[in-house]
Amino acid sequence: MMNERHSIHILTLKLHNFINYTYIVIDEVTRQAVIVDPSWEFDKICVKVDNLNISLVAVLLTHSHYDHTNLAERVAKRYDTNVYMSHQEIEYYNFRCKKLNQLYDEDILRLGYTTIKCIYTPGHTAGSVCYLVDKALFVGDCIFIEGCGICSSRGASPEEMFKSIQKIKSLVTLDTKIFPAHSFGKPPGYSLGYLIENNIYFQIMDVNQFVNFRMRKGQTGIFNFR
């Protein structure tokens, strides 16, 4: 996917039946690039980066869960670059890796002529963040096209998830494309407008109703969003 300023490359990476999306964002003027949540298949990532003929300048992590961070340090070492994660996530979970840098809400990273805005969106974890690049939002496990992240692990909070979804709705334009780390039926790249029309967690406007629904008993699976 490409516009005049930057392009987005989607990598589908697997460990057995576990699938993650990792994203490479490239500033088309300078060919500088970042990678979001590198996971599982190191060789496949390196082949892609090398074939794109880019300068990888940052590893961006949406949160600290292992399926999003397992290759962060290895990729950073291979390309001699820094790793970024939210201050809240680092401190709450005591996350450590080499060349780790802290980010705060609304911090801006420069990628050549492209800007990357960090948006603090707790709920799935205590310090989850999304990264906004023009009209593309990289959301990790905060939200999915079909639903939102689980809110039952340590540091998670359905109340904070509700606030984060409302925050995204208030900050992000309807034509912004959403790029989650997993798919539960829909591929990445649907617009925020689509989610507002079709994702039930974007339609619940009362926090208590949201919490009761997200944490309801008797779900057939943690990713049963209906």
**42-81 pLDDT, tens per residue?**
999 999 999 999 999 999 999 999 999 999 999 999 999 9
Q: What is the dihedral of CA 69, 75, 81, 82, to 10 degrees?
A: 10
pTM over 0.85: yes
Copy the structure tokens of residue 176.
């912004």
Residues 6+ apart with CB under 8 A from 179: 8, 10, 21, 23, 36, 136, 137, 138, 139, 188, 189
Confidence of residue 219 (pLDDT cuts 50, 70, 90): confident
What SS3 class is residue 99?
Answer: coil
**7-35 pLDDT, tens per residue?**
999 999 999 888 999 999 999 999 999 99
* CB atoms near residue 102 (< 10 Å): 14
Question: Looking at domain 6-214, which CATH architecture does it have?
Answer: 4-Layer Sandwich (3.60)
CA–CA distance, 24 with 70 (Å, rounded to integer): 16
Domain boundaries, the chain: 6-214
89, 156 contact by CB (below 8 A): no
| Residue 66 buriedness (CB in 10 A; 0-12 / 13-18 / 19+) | exposed
DSSP annotation of 106: T
**137-158 pLDDT, tens per residue?**
999 999 999 999 999 999 999 9
